[in-house]
Amino acid sequence: MKKNFLGNKWFFEDFLEVEDSASTWGFEIKKEVLSLKSKFQKIEIFDTKEFGRVLVLDGIVQLSTKNEFVYHEMLVHPSMFYHAKPKRVLIIGGGDGMALREVLKHPVDEVFLVDIDSKVIEVSKRYFKSDFSDKRVKIFNEDALAFVRQYKNYFDVIITDLTDPTPVAKFCWNRIFYSDVLNALTDNGVASFQSGSLNEPFAMKIRKDLSNIFKYFKTHRAFIESFPFSEYTFSFGSKRVNLDKVNVKNMFRGFDLKYYSPEIHYASGVMPKFFSAK
């Protein structure tokens, strides 16, 4: 017998920029863990029937404990391997602490994390057991827009784990910001960006802009069950490193990850025919 979901509590995601959207995406809630308004955004945490614990910011799903490892491994490790020996890393956004967890699997000297909203960090410590206590980590609660501009030729890897263009993040999704990221990288530096689903119009624009800023540009994809539309994309850029030529296979020694492997690295870099960065 089919269950009528209307009688139960469901969450439905707001589709950005899709005013006349004829579809939606949602999941059944077991328990509403938290709902508050910080100075910058609405923060909600749900325990769900299918995806475990879910973090939602301004109506957009950020992660689910069931499959966040796929997203965070794909966002972080390709860039760390593309660089080969990253010592100074910047995480932009990422207040849930999960990209940070992946970065710290590498022998880095220093990790800066800049998230505008200290409340996201606070609730992630409490409800997702995220750990920010490593001595190499420095947290800044500032707007990434002004923060990144202060650095030139400094970071080996920059990981951009920002919310989609919601009100608080929207000024970081443009060519000016991408150029600031490029300038903050060392010559052999590599930047990584969460870059939306394959076929979302705003994500197509993001990838097009990024590919115009970075001389070397590459997209990888992975299916993240708790994100709507289609496969999710992770975009990588560098001034000097030809990403297609790096032999990432050699870097995996000592790394035992749950999703990302040499085979996944190469397979995830193959795009469908309709996909075009330019």
Nearer to ligand SAM, 63 or 158 (CB): 63
Annotated catalytic residue within 161, 164, 180, 209 = 161
List the interface residues with ligand SAM, window 3-22 (CB under 6 A): none
Annotated active-site residue 161? The verdict is yes
Show the binding pattern over residues 123-142: x = contacts ligand SAM (CB under 6 A), - = does not. --------------------
Counting beta carbons within 10 angstroms of the beta carbon of residue 153, is it exposed (0 to 12), middle (13 to 18) or buried (19 or more)? exposed
- Which of 11, 143, 174, 179 is the binder for ligand SAM (CB under 6 A)? 143
Of the CA atoms within 13 Å of residue 59, those in its CB half-sphere come to: 12
Contact between 67 and 226 (Cβ < 8 Å): yes
- Which of 62, 233, 235, 238 is the binder for ligand SAM (CB under 6 A)? 62
- Taking CB under 6 A as the rule, does residue 182 contact ligand SAM? no
- Which of 45, 108, 114, 137 is the binder for ligand SAM (CB under 6 A)? 114
- Which of 95, 165, 189, 237 is the binder for ligand SAM (CB under 6 A)? 95
* Tokens encoding 111: 């990790």
Nearer to ligand SAM, 91 or 264 (CB): 91
Residues tagged active-site: 161
